[in-house]
């Protein structure tokens, strides 16, 4: 029986279909950039028709934002894992950085998309990326408070430390994944030493 070149109507749960589309879109946006990406290419890679694609996402911009939000949610989830009760601040830094670098390594497309300068030129996209960064800063600030005597340092200073640490980790990660031949352990070790050096200047909280 001929299908006249049309894709078969495959009964896939909506959530699964959405994930397939987001994965295909992430790959395509990273490969071609926003302006070079065509919805036809995403539909082909996701093995759906254009009407089905537009049923899930009414525009290319809405699809890009959905991909960025998903990547951001995954990174935030990775950074939000609680510390073991007796973990000290040095071990906590290693745990946080490994969670961050695990995300970068395992979801390179999503990370590239989150922090690509070219993608952030659109104001609406920039606002979504800014909200993700702000949430990461909030998480890191909370982690700093766990190991810092907050009676000896202001809230504003803690938040600034968190901004510096998040920015440093992001910049180092971008350099790492775009530098051929640079092993992860080298990036991780340098970041751990740098973050521990910054944190060593803060008044410690003595935890039982």
Tell me: pLDDT of 100 over 50: yes
Measured in whole angstroms, the distance separating CA 31 from the mean position of its chain's CA atoms is 17
State the pLDDT at residue 141.
Answer: 97
Cα–Cα distance, 52 to 91 (Å, whole number)? 47
Note the pLDDT tens digit of each residue in 117-174. Answer: 556 667 888 899 999 999 999 999 999 999 999 999 999 999 999 999 999 999 999 9
Note the pLDDT tens digit of each residue in 39-57. Answer: 999 999 999 999 999 999 9
**Burial, 180: exposed, middle or buried (Cβ in 10 Å; 0-12, 13-18, 19+)?**
exposed
Contact 64, 112 (CB under 8 A): no
More confidently predicted of 159 and 15: 159
* 148 strand-pairing partners: 204
- Give all domains of the chain, ordered by start, each with its CATH number: 14-58 (1.10.10.60), 68-199 (1.10.357.10)
Measured in whole angstroms, the distance separating CA 95 from the mean position of its chain's CA atoms is 16
Phi and psi at residue 148, in whole multiples of 5°? -125, 140
Give this prediction's pTM.
0.86
- Confidence at 67, pLDDT banded by 50, 70, 90: very high
């Amino acid at each position: 029986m001929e299908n006249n070149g049309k894709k078969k109507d495959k009964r896939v749960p909506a959530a699964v279909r959405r994930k397939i589309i987001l994965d295909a879109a992430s790959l395509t946006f990273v490969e071609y950039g926003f302006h070079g990406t065509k919805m036809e290419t995403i539909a082909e890679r996701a093995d759906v028709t254009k009407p089905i694609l537009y049923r899930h996402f009414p525009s290319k911009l809405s699809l890009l934002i959905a991909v960025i939000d998903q990547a951001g949610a995954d990174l935030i989830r990775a950074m939000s894992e609680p510390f073991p009760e007796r973990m000290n601040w040095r071990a906590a830094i290693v745990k946080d950085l490994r969670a961050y670098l695990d995300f970068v390594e395992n979801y390179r497309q999503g990370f590239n998309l989150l922090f690509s300068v070219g993608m952030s030129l659109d104001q609406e996209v920039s606002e979504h990326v800014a909200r993700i960064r702000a949430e990461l800063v909030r998480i890191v600030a909370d982690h700093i408070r766990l190991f810092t005597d907050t009676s000896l340092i202001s809230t504003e200073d803690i938040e600034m430390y968190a901004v510096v640490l998040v920015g440093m980790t992001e910049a180092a990660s971008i350099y790492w994944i775009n530098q051929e031949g640079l092993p992860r352990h080298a990036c991780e070790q340098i970041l751990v030493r740098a973050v521990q050096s910054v944190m060593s200047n803060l008044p410690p909280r003595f935890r039982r």
